[in-house]
Amino acid sequence: MTLQTAERPRLHAPAHAPRTGRTERDKVSRWQIWVPLGLYLVFTLVPFYWMLVFAFRPRGSSSLLPWPITFDNFAVVWNELGFAIFFKNSLMVGVASLIMTTVIALAGGYALARYEFRGKKLFMVGMLCTQFIPGAMMLIPLFEIFRTFGLVNSLWSLVIAETVFQLPLSLILISGFIRNVPVELEQAAWVDGCSRLRGFFAVVLPLLRPALVAVGSFAFIHSWNNFLFALMFVSDQEKFTVPVGLSYTLGEFSVDFGALAAGGVVAAVPVVLVFAFIQRYLVQGMSAGAVKG
């Protein structure tokens, strides 16, 4: 007599088992990341490379490399075309715009972040709407205002115009950053005997370094690169800024590419240095100011 054992049923995996992890289709190889980034990097750096080639190679040379290196173009730009004066004027306008924008945005941003008043939301919407207005549309009204107050052909007209156009974004960034600072920190300072002003300088201001760096850097760079206001509000060559000075390297029938490239290098150096020193604060200040408290 043989014993027949029942065959055990086989367990089959479900036809549509849930997949864990990433599939082969979802995986992205390295070349799919590095090739687009490399193409974008080449597209960005090639104009800068040609600017350096024209600036440092001798005049009349057609070499693709700046060799032998010469500084004759920089000497022409700095001494003959007056870029030493243009550079000083741009630096003065940039620093003054930075200080005025930062101070006003700091005071206004604190008021927007800590106080509730009628029309606050409408005011914020109005500031955002001003960012949609091109600067060219405001040239005639600004010119008439500056002419009335005797500021035409003055560097102060550039400082005031740049400050006004930079304030809306700066106020929003500063107010958003202050809103993220707990008010309990200030209240603790008030309990210890500090006034509101002293508590602000002792508690809040040290925490605003990233926001101040972001606002100040944007104000400086925008005023440094602005061409339209400097061209329209200033007519004296002794008060030209670097962007306007660059336009004078373009002749009526010819272009001095060596001088133009050398001037471009001079104009780009301060901006590159500013970003090199502030990049670690810039992203933090922008992201913190964009968070809704």
Distances (CA, A) of 281 to 144, 221, 259: 39, 15, 35
pLDDT the model gives residue 16: 52
pLDDT the model gives residue 101: 92
pLDDT the model gives residue 283: 60
The rounded distance, in Å, linking the Cα atoms of 193 and 216 is: 32
pLDDT the model gives residue 289: 46
pLDDT the model gives residue 290: 45
pLDDT the model gives residue 91: 92
pLDDT the model gives residue 2: 45
pLDDT the model gives residue 92: 93
The rounded distance, in Å, linking the Cα atoms of 34 and 11 is: 45
Biggest CA–CA distance in the chain, Å, is 123
pLDDT the model gives residue 249: 75
165: Cβ–Cβ under 8 A, 6 or more apart, which residues?
Answer: 135, 222
Dihedral of CA atoms 182, 185, 190, 196 in degrees, nearest 10, equals -50
pLDDT the model gives residue 159: 92
pLDDT the model gives residue 248: 78
- Give pLDDT < 50 ranges for the chain: 1-6, 8-9, 11, 13, 289-293
**Residue 269: Cβ within 10 Å count:** 11
pTM assigned to the model: 0.76
Query: Bridge-partner residues for 255, per DSSP?
Result: 250
The rounded distance, in Å, linking the Cα atoms of 158 and 94 is: 9
